[in-house]
């Protein structure tokens, strides 16, 4: 489902809520504090970020999987890391532009608390049975 809306008031509202118009990388967009302090908002925000800038894959020649968030905006990357930790999800490692979740117990927590709305990610998770307690 898509919702499209236009109008100066909408843009003004979003700007007041901490979402400037334009490119999130060039604008160095961060997760606003009003989202960070509310676990429900944080979960939905992280789901949206992982749906757009995340990936799910099986590690080559291993029986393990990884969920990765990729973004060159270091501030946003750090906000995502801190957000995951505040929800009790530990990240394996963070590189210049990537944040990884690898441990099976952490993958399960991520899927239970945040999950995906992106059909491509959902198909992979279902195919690999990442949400199964046997994995």
What domains, with CATH codes, occur in the chain? 28-128 (3.10.28.10)
Q: ∠ CA(81), CA(90), CA(96), 5° rounding?
A: 40
pLDDT mean over 46-52? 95
Our separate counts of H helices and E strands in the chain read 6, 4
Residue 35 sits at φ, ψ, to 5 deg, of: -85, -40
Q: What is the structure's pLDDT at 110?
A: 95
Query: pLDDT for 55-90, tens place per residue?
Result: 998 888 887 889 999 999 999 999 999 999 999 999
For the chain, the average pLDDT equals 86
Q: Please tell me the predicted confidence (pLDDT) of residue 35.
A: 94
Full-model pTM = 0.82
| Sheet strands side by side (includes 98-101) | 54-58, 65-70, 98-101, 93-94
């Amino acid at each position: 489902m898509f919702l499209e809306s236009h109008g100066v008031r909408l843009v003004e509202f979003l700007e007041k809520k901490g979402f400037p118009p334009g490119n999130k990388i060039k604008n160095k967009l961060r997760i606003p504090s009003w989202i960070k302090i509310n676990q429900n908002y944080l979960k939905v925000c992280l789901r949206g970020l992982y749906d757009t800038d995340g990936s799910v894959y099986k590690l080559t020649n291993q029986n393990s999987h990884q969920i990765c968030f990729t973004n060159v905006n270091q501030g946003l990357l750090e906000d995502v890391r801190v957000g995951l930790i505040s929800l009790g999800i530990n990240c394996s490692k963070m590189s210049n532009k990537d944040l990884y979740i690898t441990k099976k117990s952490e993958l399960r927590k991520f899927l239970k608390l945040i999950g995906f709305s992106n059909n491509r990610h959902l198909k992979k998770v279902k195919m690999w049975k990442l949400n199964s307690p046997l994995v």
